[in-house]
Amino acid sequence: MTDAKDVKGATAVEGAAAAAAVAGAVDVDVLRVFCGPEGAGGNLLGVVRDGAALPDRAARAALAAELGFSETVFLDDAARGTADIHTPSVRLPFAGHPLVGLAWLLRGQGRPPAVLRPPAGDVAVRYDGDLTWVRGRAEWVTHRTTERYPSAAAVDALPAPPPGEGWLYAWAWLDEPAGVVRARAFPRRGDSIVEDEATGAAALLLTHQLGRPLDIRQGAGSQIRTRTYPDGTIEVGGRVRAETA
């Protein structure tokens, strides 16, 4: 567990509620989600297990902005699995990386959830070895553009962020028959996240568009696995590690 005031890179917080949180009123677990097979990569995630300690939505937004992770998730009801997800600038109805991370953390505490409940709807949870899976729908994903590039080298050569506006998921086949994809993600929403290291919602959307399971190699060293189901739902899974100081 990492206290919010100890998170590396924290600066002064505007707003009394957020200042109180950073002063120690709220504990934040910091995880890396969608790590590669050897533990590299992974997208940083803040988890506030006691959402009741910070019920005000504006204060949550301020804390998420202060932490500066791609997402911070607040667990509001452990029994029901109710979760509230914030980026540094917006609240999300659904996102893969915070739900995978939260499910992994709760399992480690001896209370693995069968379902998590973000605003979008019920998200089934499954565990398979070192992979944690969550299951959602493409219509839950906030608007973003997926764009295919001719090669992985072309994806790697993109500046961060590329010119343009709006959320971009740039991808190319590494091995099309095997379903292996190279991807990079650029929110381009004007906040502190220039490039997203690993993005479950974008992976889910791409899987929906291609209609097949994928093995996505994203960012500097992350891996995201996806699976499709006849009812239109899609699973997103990966490895999670606790971040150490």
pLDDT of residue 157: 98
> Does residue 131 lie in a domain region?
no
Give the distance from CA 57 to its chain's centroid: 19
Q: Which CATH number characterizes residue 40's domain?
A: 3.10.310.10
The pairing of beta strand 180-186 with beta strand 215-218 = parallel
| pTM recorded for the entire structure | 0.90
Long-range contacts from 90-94, C-beta under 8 angstroms, 24+ separation:
90/189, 91/57, 91/61, 92/118, 92/142, 92/201, 93/118, 93/119, 93/120, 93/140, 93/142, 94/118, 94/119, 94/120, 94/121, 94/123, 94/136, 94/140, 94/141, 94/142, 94/201
Number of domains within the chain:
2
> Does residue 129 lie in a domain region?
no
Residue (of 93, 113, 92, 91) closest to 101 by Cα position: 113
Two tokens, residue 65 = 């902005």
Angle between helices 96-108 and 200-210 (to 10 degrees): 120
Give the distance from CA 2 to its chain's centroid: 18
pLDDT of residue 71: 97
Q: Where does a domain end: 118, 148, 177?
A: 118
> Does residue 71 lie in a domain region?
yes
Q: Where does a domain end: 57, 88, 118?
A: 118
Two tokens, residue 6 = 């100890």
pLDDT of residue 24: 58
Judgement on whether residues 6 and 113 belong to the same structural domain of the protein:
yes
> Does residue 169 lie in a domain region?
yes
Judgement on whether residues 106 and 179 belong to the same structural domain of the protein:
no
Judgement on whether residues 108 and 176 belong to the same structural domain of the protein:
no
Segment-wise mean pLDDT, segments of 10 residues, the chain, 245 residues: 40 40 73 94 97 94 95 96 97 97 97 97 97 98 97 98 96 98 96 96 98 97 98 98 81
What residues make up the domain containing 42?
2-118
Burial string for 180-219 (b: 16+ CB within 10 Å, else e) reads ebbbbbbbbeeeebebbbbbbbbbbbbbbebeeebebbbb
Q: Name the residue with tokens 């291609």.
A: 210
pLDDT of residue 245: 53
* Separation between Cα atoms, residue 13 and residue 177, nearest integer Å: 49
Q: Where does a domain end: 56, 83, 118?
A: 118
Strand partners, 124: 115, 135
The pairing of beta strand 115-116 with beta strand 215-218 = unpaired
Burial string for 153-171 (b: 16+ CB within 10 Å, else e) reads eebeebeebeeeeebbbbb
Give the distance from CA 111 to its chain's centroid: 21
The upper half-sphere exposure of residue 140, i.e. CA atoms within 13 Å in the direction of its Cβ, equals 23
The answer to whether the beta carbons of residues 84 and 119 sit under 8 Å apart is yes
